[in-house]
Amino acid sequence: MAESLTSADVECVFERPEALVDRSHHYCPGCSHGIYHRLVAEMIDEFGLLNRAVGICPVGCSVLAYDYFAVDMIEASHGRAPAVATGVKRALPDAFVFTYQGDGDLASIGMSETVHAAARGENITVFFVNNGIYGMTGGQMAPTTLPGQKTTTSPGGREVAVMGHPVDVCKLLQSLPGVAFLARVPLSAPKHLKTARKYMRKAISAQLQKKGFSLVEVLATCPVQWRMTPIAALRHVDENVTKVFEPGVFVDRLDGDSHSGADGGATRTETERQEKR
Ligand SMILES: Cc1ncc(C[n+]2csc(CCOP(=O)(O)OP(=O)(O)O)c2C)c(N)n1
Ligand code: SF4
Ligand SMILES: [Mg+2]
């Protein structure tokens, strides 16, 4: 008969971060929100921010994020999270203040708050979930919807001549001197999670070093509103979404390391980074 294992015989290699509440998420199977929640919680643990983090929730599928993070959370009106974060950070400069926002929230109704918080160089960190759609309200077109993408309000596919081009938030914010760190990464494979953690560390460090506004955009899935299986949705991110929204670092002004500029020169894309390795 095989010997039974005791807890002394096994090594714990994976556990729930302390900053994540022990509660089932309401997110659909294959949705990236749960993964990004976990990464945010891992970072709060890693930087020891459990007792000084204040998160601002959006409106959208992650409206209930306050139920999942074991830190102080505030619910903002749709799109207003950067304005709320501004107030909290100015009142409590020692707090680590972050927003967690979808693309409808951040780049549509909240575009003004996003751009002006970045322009003012507010010392806050934005965790941005670009799934190219309004997930919560039934799959309407978002500013980030790809050309040709079918949504409930672009049933024939997004026609740019009529509905406009997708908004590239990283490129839009890149020119602003108040931005300290800006990067984009797909959440479509385990290897990208490593990159996401690296960018998130930089974004958090930017705030802790009082360098200004920081944002990490993740290219996320919404299998339900995309009408895809979770696997097909991951493939769609890799094969199509990353072609329109190129992953990489757009601004990095940490520790005297300044990489910013319209025509690149200093802008490092994921492709360039891989070539350097
Ligand atoms: C002022 C206001 N306008 C519109 C809405 C309706 N609304 C709720 S969520 C949402 C879109 C959410 O999309 P997104 O931010 O991309 O989040 P996702 O659900 O995709 O994660 C909209 C338009 C609202 N709640 N408040
Ligand atoms: S509708 Fe989309 S974004 Fe919302 S929880 Fe489901 S998969 Fe995620
Ligand atoms: Mg969305």
Residue nearest to atom 5 of ligand 2 (CA): 27
Segment among 5-14, 51-60, 120-129, 181-190 with least mean pLDDT: 5-14
DSSP string, 72-101: EEEEPSTT-HHHHHHHHHHH-TTSEEEEEE
pLDDT at residue 166 tops 50: yes
pLDDT at residue number 274: 40
Cα 135 to averaged position of ligand 3 atoms, centre (Å): 5
pLDDT at residue number 7: 80
Cα 233 to averaged position of ligand 1 atoms, centre (Å): 21
The verdict on pTM exceeding 0.85 is: yes
Condensed to tens digits (0 to 9), the pLDDT of residues 207-242 reads 999 999 999 999 999 999 999 999 999 999 999 999
Alpha carbon of residue 49 to chain centroid: 18
pLDDT band at 267 (very low <50, low <70, confident <90, very high): very low
pLDDT at residue number 268: 43
Cα 133 to averaged position of ligand 1 atoms, centre (Å): 10
99 CB less than 6 Å from ligand 1?
A: no
Residue nearest to atom 6 of ligand 2 (CA): 28
Task: Return the higher-pLDDT residue of 269 and 227.
Answer: 227
**Six token digits for residue 238:** 């890799």
Condensed to tens digits (0 to 9), the pLDDT of residues 100-145 reads 999 999 999 999 999 999 999 999 999 999 999 999 999 999 999 9
DSSP string, the chain: -PPPP-GGG--------TTB-SS---PPTT-SHHHHHHHHHHHHHHTT-TTTEEEEE-SSGGGGGGGTBSSEEEEPSTT-HHHHHHHHHHH-TTSEEEEEEEHHIIIIITHHHHHHHHHTT-S-EEEEEE-SEETTTTSEE-TTPPTT--BTTBTT---HHHH-PPP-HHHHHTT-TTEEEEEEEE-SSHHHHHHHHHHHHHHHHHHHTT--EEEEEEE---HHHHT--HHHHHHHIIIIIHHHS--EEEEEEETTEEE--TT-SSPEEHHHHHHH-
Residue nearest to atom 9 of ligand 1 (CA): 60
Are 216 and 199 spatial neighbours (Cβ–Cβ below 8 Å)? Answer: yes
pLDDT at residue number 256: 57
Length of the chain: 277
Write the DSSP symbol of residue 151.
B
Q: What is the mean pLDDT of residues 64-85?
A: 98
105 CB less than 6 Å from ligand 1?
A: yes
* 215: amino acid identity, one letter: L
H/E segment holding residue 257: strand 257-259
134 CB less than 6 Å from ligand 2?
A: no
pLDDT at residue number 93: 98
**Six token digits for residue 76:** 């903002």
85 CB less than 6 Å from ligand 2?
A: no
pLDDT at residue number 263: 31
Residue nearest to atom 7 of ligand 2 (CA): 222
**Six token digits for residue 187:** 């959440």
Share of the chain above pLDDT 70, in %: 91
Among residues 99, 273, 245, 103, which one has the least CA distance to residue 185?
245
pLDDT band at 4 (very low <50, low <70, confident <90, very high): confident
pLDDT at residue number 2: 62
pLDDT at residue 194 tops 50: yes
Delineate the domains of the chain, giving CATH numbers in brackets. 18-276 (3.40.50.970)
The packing angle between helices 111-119 and 81-91, to 10°, is 40
Burial 120-144 (b: 16+ CB within 10 A, else e): ebbbbbbbbbbbbbbbbeebbbbbb
pLDDT band at 255 (very low <50, low <70, confident <90, very high): confident
Q: Which ligand is nearest to the CA of 34?
A: 2
pLDDT at residue number 273: 40
